[in-house]
Structure 1
Amino acid sequence: MLSVALRRSLSVMMLLPTSVALAGPLAFDPTGIPQFTGSVAFNASNQLLVDLDYAVFAPGVYPDDGVNGDDPSNGAEYVYAYQAFNRTASTRALTTVSVGLVNDQTGAHNAVPDPLHVLTGGVLPSSMEVNLVSLSVITRFLNPPVPAGGYSSVFLFTSPNRPTYMTTSVLSGGLVDTQMAPSPLPEPATFGLLALGGLVVLRRRRA
């Protein structure tokens, strides 16, 4: 028998519109940076409905005990963690999550799954890569994809740099939807050069 509290929670979830993300435990992790912990809903043509949970952890905070989590930076860097939930209303399986990068100086690396963290038992990525050509961290679920009603394992990457928000996409075949999710800022010196370059261009235009 389901408890009264659980039945009420399930009833509320069933009444929520598809634009509202149905978050799992990663989205409420109290050890994540508050401004960069949450969930975002994706809707690609009403066929691919995905909730992407995310949390960014300050250096040394993400679990690294081999039981509750595995930080590939060994506590030295920020951990950018995500978990995808493909809603039961989806008619397509989720095959790719792509987290955008500001530029090629964000320090993003160590892209790996972490099947130990929070809600376990999810679909493991087929591959993960930091792609400096497309400026994105690409996580693919190809064998198998994440089915409707299913969810992925936690997948993550690390960076020495603090977070901002960048465009992030979910894909299935030709279907794609793009929202915003956490991503690292460029190295401070590089970010300063970008701002200076923009200022120079602006001054030239005014001249």
Structure 2
Amino acid sequence: MSATGLFITLEGGDGSGKTTQASLLGEWLAGQGREVVRTREPGGTDVGVEVREIVLHHRGDIAPRAEALLYAADRAHHVATVVRPALERGDVVIQDRYIDSSVAYQGAGRVLDPAEVRGISEWATGALAPDLTILLDLDAEAARERLDGARTRYDRLEAEASEFHDRVRSAYLALAEAEPERFLVVDAAAPVDEIAAVVRARVAGLL
């Protein structure tokens, strides 16, 4: 839990609607009089933009451990320069992806040890944990259909085979089952407004 402010993360596979729900939640919170900081990983800082280009658009392979370390390096800088200062001001931070993404994508997806992947990021962030993690759950086939309708260029993770994305989804659901007090699992195939209402109801209980 953050000492002040409120730290909310959105997780889920590519195409699950995180950006849409982050925007709707941010608008609602602003209407409640809260200061909101919307950010993402990787890419939430100038350093992060460069890391994002490497991990998502580099031509050629990146060794799985190197990939995990790049995400952790971005996360360390992002938390130190964006997230913690916002929480200390009492703001609400709404963030697209955090440590759970690394556990799911680099741990399960790349078949690294999830505990080791988590440990690297917890060290990098000083073990800062979200107050709430919203998991937008969507099966890989439905997610691919959404991406096919919205993308002309896939990044390195989006382009992975369905087996990779199935492992990622299973890892996310296992994380949510292990920490039900932190996670809100939502069916990402539901209508956008219905999802937003469920999210607002949960967040309202934290304000």
Bin the TM-score by the shorter chain. Answer: under 0.3
Q: Which has the higher helix share?
A: 2
- Which protein has the larger Cα radius of gyration, Structure 1 or Structure 2? 1
Give TM-score, length-normalised by structure 2: 0.24
Q: Which has the higher strand share?
A: 1
Give TM-score, length-normalised by structure 1: 0.24
